Chain A
């Protein structure tokens, strides 16, 4: 029954291991009744007798060496908990046996991600190894191999603990004894990259490829390095080779990784079409949901294009995929998924839910493993998004028609609380940007490692000193030749000018950004810039009307999110004086004698409602709405929600 699931390795283990008396039956009775053990080790009716590796009762009769051998097989057959238990028993039996510590270090490094504990085990393993075999160098090939593995684990653990110099020192030691492993070049170049030695890392990766190091991994590494060295075309060429190599490996290959990396490079060079198709290909592959990154990258790309439905579908697909692996730890993606879903909620007008998502993203611990993004990136991004969501909620409250004093008082209390929280969060985000992220190192637009929402980043940057920000952006421009990126920098400067009361400069800047923004791609940037521009315009002006309607037809929720009213006409023949003040307390503004505006009209009601409002737009029938309520206020609020909030499914982020 059980054996059919075991891999050949495990079957081999069963052969290797001698038959033992009935393990589990004995174990479960052992503490109380030693006589009740079953005698026949080959009893075919005993369901526990088959799985020799998991039966633990006889472990007391096994030597530490046997237990370690079994644990190795269990680790190889993806049964890590059984292996861990065996290894701990082996340590109890022989505390001086380094192999158990070594395997436990590997277990905590690979299966658990508990790096501090892993380091403790590997250091202990090292001590015991040297105690047993003396100080290196070693003449025996077997000892050399084992010593090399210890050093490899040590460097990997240190790398994961962000001790890059320590990791490099371990690799130097490894090389100094003349050891060579296929992984060496890839690992070394990665560590060098982390230390900022990009040129040296590229050299090591190229040498590794020539020397036949792990081809897929080293190609990937080289591609990333070339991308960081501002050589996108060369990087894409390397990724092409990496993708081809991974596909050539058949089911063992992992082409989603280089595909994701290539997608990131396309994204960085603003080739949105190729980037999208590459990410789509990566997510469609079997290994595509191994990591959250391709789905996350694709989602963030869609959000920049304000394709919220597509963004949501991408996240749903990822979560459906990951649900196939029930033992995958939530930490791998929960915070990132919450962040991405929160942004979708925010841009679809579901602000209260977005706030909850961002709070969950901030509270959650994200394990980033070896990817470039780190906890600080997530913290900063989620903090900014949460602050933005709180400000948006204040706008929503401002445009919500209250029907009682208590409702008004509660709304005002929430607005004060939100304002204070948003102020504090924006302040913290700015502090983290300069402190933890080294003078906004992620300012390079679409930096792969960053989780910032670049189109709306200007909102937080505007809080910096105008002169310091100008200098920082000037420095960034000097090393960034991408034309599209320049539009983003202009947007940041314009927004900063606006907040530092340079209105003319700001208006010119924002108009230029709106003009130059790419249709269909930089939608969020354009919408954000338009909304900032609208702040400087009188609501009765033609330009205000023009921008408001562009946004209304493109991304209606954003208009209300930013606290702007849509100019509308009120149809004559109604009790307009009675309705007008309530309608204007919501997200609508009455504009008389202007053609081509959407209109609100009171229409006959259907019981039990007492008020019905019809919203119609000339030439845009998909925007037509009918809202009913007991009061005008209720009808206005319902109309507001149906126009400025997109209903999306409420899916939990695991």
Chain B
């Protein structure tokens, strides 16, 4: 009755294309919902998308024209708008809720939007040559847009990747590469199936194509190739990441304590990355903090002048630094001459790899703690420090340097820059000031007033030239690395022992319950001067003029999440007691699978596929009638041949295929099938059918063992039946 709705041809891989497209829609909807709440159930929106795909696929096989399709959808959209408009006008006034129809309309609109988008794309897929290529480009563009935030190591954009990486216990880069690979594989699969599918209207003639066992070898090679690419890309990226980018990603302050080498970079810094670097848990109050609300956590110090910049001096100097890895213990010697100081205990849980342990100065001991969550924290240690408890104003009259130092040590901390301009400027700034500490303050204040904080100073200066001069004697644009160097060079020019401290500078006002989430943007370099009986004291620049901000908001949800993993376990706070309490569930929580769940799901899928394969091969044994036994016997042999690379071509009759089958193995079964199909009342005994099937299997058993083994592993026959193929 409706001839134009009748499919004109049976399309191979039709179902596979539908399944892949549907999967794509579901993935897209859930990803979008994770990034920005849709306001409507993502399941509902996904179902609408799937409905659009199915509807457009059915319509595309009919004689409906493109114009009719577009007009039809436009009319449907108009009709629905009119329907909701009239409902709003009539019904909503009858209900106590004024916007009951509007509420429904929001959900319906989004579902319809998704249905239209999915249907439109599917229509183009079936009807327009080249649409597949466009679609693949679009998918790639969307993927790039979504994951573009991850370029420059912004691992928090989108955050779901970060959470997934932690859930699975994978490094972020590996997670990103894994997702990229999955997307690539899905797109390739999609392109493959799309290229196999016949367009009923776009192609005037059916395309004949052949498949052989070469497919299997090609697939295996492709998998090995993709695996290899992933491995090499990951290795190369990590090498690049570790070697040259770490400093840039971490505010210009990299890691590493190699003698004569600086971990700092001058040219540019990323600054605003929110990538978590560590979690600090203060085990006590620190009300005497002279830098309130800031807290300095020192990791290393650069006290040797290389002739160009400050570099790491080695263990002979800077003996106040623990200089141990976050996985080691340390015991320091307390300097009783330094006062007043207060005990400060911190538990530190690095979230990124660190070469050295960091802590509030001076750490007297570092002990290892049990890592509460090894998939998240790289290590766990507790630092016992004696932290400054003196107001900075109390230092004003003190001398600089340590009288106990040997002349060599003193000379080391006073190595000066050969450029006389540093001294000239220092003398000019400190003109009329006699106290050394006041001189230090004057220099820091001068830079705070005149310097412009920017993460992209872009000074035109060669690698082996002085990187600080263009900043200090030029445009005054720079970041902490420039500031710290400038202060140290000027202080040393005034015979004040100085060095650069590196590590983290964090804002205590962003702490929660004494927990501080350190980000890469908190990495910092600062100038330090040695004040007699006070030790190394930071003198930092706080520029009045800011061109680019490095500060980002702390992810409080992540902080709470991490805090939760440090809290006492179920044995202390059993969850049964709050089981029925409303409000205990986290309203923002997104369920993410962990590696165990994924492993079980994969195992389940493999098992299900295996069961399908077993049923394909042995289903004839449980067939109730001789007729069905014959049909399933045929499928059993045909599927085995399929896995061995003998495939019935598109448009080939069953008889032609049977004649082509190796040694005519399918001929008896094909005859039986035809008898069943065309004879009025075929008299087939079960014994007769079973004998024919057994004979065919015996024939198949003569193929070489390696081919049989490979065909057992080959999932092609399962894919064929799932994709709606024929035998």
Contacts and interface: CB of A to CB of B under 8 A. Distances in A.
Contacts of A365: 556-557
B103 A465 contact: no
A32 B509 contact: no
Contacts of A435: 39, 103, 106
Contact of A326 (B85, B508, B553): B508
Given A82-B285, A364-B553, A465-B102, A29 B577 contact: no
Contact of A123 (B92, B329, B581, B583): B581
Interface string B576-597: 0110011110100000000000
Given A31-B329, A114-B560, A329-B512, A81 B342 contact: no
A550 B542 CA distance: 44
Interface centre among B292, B341, B343, B560 (most CB of A within 10 A): B343
Given A431-B39, A435-B103, A112 B513 contact: yes
Given A161-B584, A326-B292, A5 B513 contact: no
Given A434-B99, A468-B92, A85 B284 contact: yes
Contacts of A119: 578, 581, 583-584
Interface string A420-432: 0000100110111
Interface in A291-336: 326-331, 334
Contact of A27 (B384, B509, B549, B573): B384
B525 to A, nearest CB: 22
A163 B567 contact: no
Contact of A468 (B88, B364, B384): B88
B512 A162 contact: no
Given A326-B508, A467-B92, A54 B285 contact: yes
A79 interface: yes
Task: Determine the main DSSP class of A at the interface with B.
Answer: helix
Contacts of A368: none
B551 A652 contact: yes
Contact of A124 (B345, B549, B574): B574
B99 A124 contact: no
A166 B574 contact: no
B353 interface: no
A304 B85 CA distance: 34
Contacts of A120: 573, 575, 577-578
A321 to B, nearest CB: 14
Interface in B329-372: 329, 331, 334, 336, 339-343, 345, 364-365, 367
B554 interface: yes
A79 B287 contact: yes
Interface in A444-483: 464-465, 467-468, 471-472, 475
Contacts of B364: 28-29
Interface string B278-308: 0000111101100011000000000000000
A14 interface: no
Contacts of B345: 27, 56, 85
Contacts of B513: 81, 84, 108, 111-112, 114
Contacts of A158: 581, 583
B577 A327 contact: no
A293 B572 CA distance: 38
A121 B99 contact: no
B568 interface: yes
A108 B384 CA distance: 25
B581 A163 contact: yes
A2 interface: yes
B101 interface: yes
A80 interface: yes
A47 interface: yes
Interface centre among B85, B551, B553 (most CB of A within 10 A): B553
Interface string A6-30: 0000000000000000001101110
Contact of B102 (A28, A166, A363, A468): A468
A330 B293 CA distance: 12
B583 A162 contact: yes
B97 interface: yes
A47 B340 contact: yes
B582 A166 contact: yes
B interface residue count range (under 10 / 10 to 19 / 20 to 34 / 35 or more): 35 or more
A27 B343 contact: yes
Contacts of A163: 581-583
Contacts of B549: 652
B384 A28 contact: yes
A435 B110 CA distance: 15
A91 interface: yes
Interface centre among B284, B513, B553, B584 (most CB of A within 10 A): B284
B551 A1 contact: no
A127 interface: yes
Contacts of B384: 24, 27-28
Interface centre among A5, A31, A112, A432 (most CB of B within 10 A): A31
B130 interface: no
A121 B584 CA distance: 13
Interface string A36-59: 000000000101100100111000
A165 B85 CA distance: 39
A461 to B, nearest CB: 11
Nearest to B384: A28
Contacts of B365: 28-29, 31-32
B314 interface: no
Nearest to B106: A431
Contacts of B568: 88, 91
Nearest to A356: B549
Nearest to A433: B99
Contacts of A31: 329, 331, 365, 367
B510 interface: yes
Given A435-B103, A439-B98, A467-B89, A47 B341 contact: yes
B715 interface: no
Interface string B514-549: 100000000000000000000000000000001001
Interface in B99-117: 99, 101-103, 106
A614 interface: no
B617 to A, nearest CB: 52
Contacts of B331: 29, 31-33
A468 B572 contact: no
A192 interface: no
Contacts of B103: 431, 434-435
A115 B292 contact: no
A181 to B, nearest CB: 23
B343 A48 contact: yes
A562 to B, nearest CB: 27
A28 B345 CA distance: 9
Nearest to B587: A375
Contact of B343 (A24, A33, A360, A439): A24
A3 interface: no
Contact of A56 (B284, B287, B560): B284
The 10 closest A-B pairs by CB, nearest first: A161-B583, A326-B293, A465-B88, A24-B343, A123-B577, A434-B99, A472-B98, A28-B384, A112-B513, A81-B514
25 contacts: A31-B365, A45-B336, A48-B342, A48-B343, A56-B283, A81-B283, A81-B284, A81-B285, A81-B514, A85-B283, A91-B568, A120-B575, A124-B573, A161-B581, A326-B293, A326-B509, A327-B508, A329-B512, A331-B512, A428-B37, A465-B84, A465-B88, A468-B99, A468-B101, A652-B549
Interface of A: 1-2, 5, 24-25, 27-29, 31-33, 45, 47-48, 51, 54-56, 79-82, 84-85, 88, 91, 95, 108, 111-112, 114-117, 119-121, 123-124, 126-127, 158, 161-163, 166, 326-331, 334, 360, 363-365, 424, 427-428, 430-432, 434-435, 439-440, 464-465, 467-468, 471-472, 475, 650, 652, 654
Given A91-B572, A116-B586, A117-B567, 14 more contacts: A47-B339, A48-B386, A85-B283, A91-B568, A163-B582, A329-B509, A330-B554, A434-B99, A434-B106, A435-B103, A465-B92, A467-B88, A467-B92, A467-B93
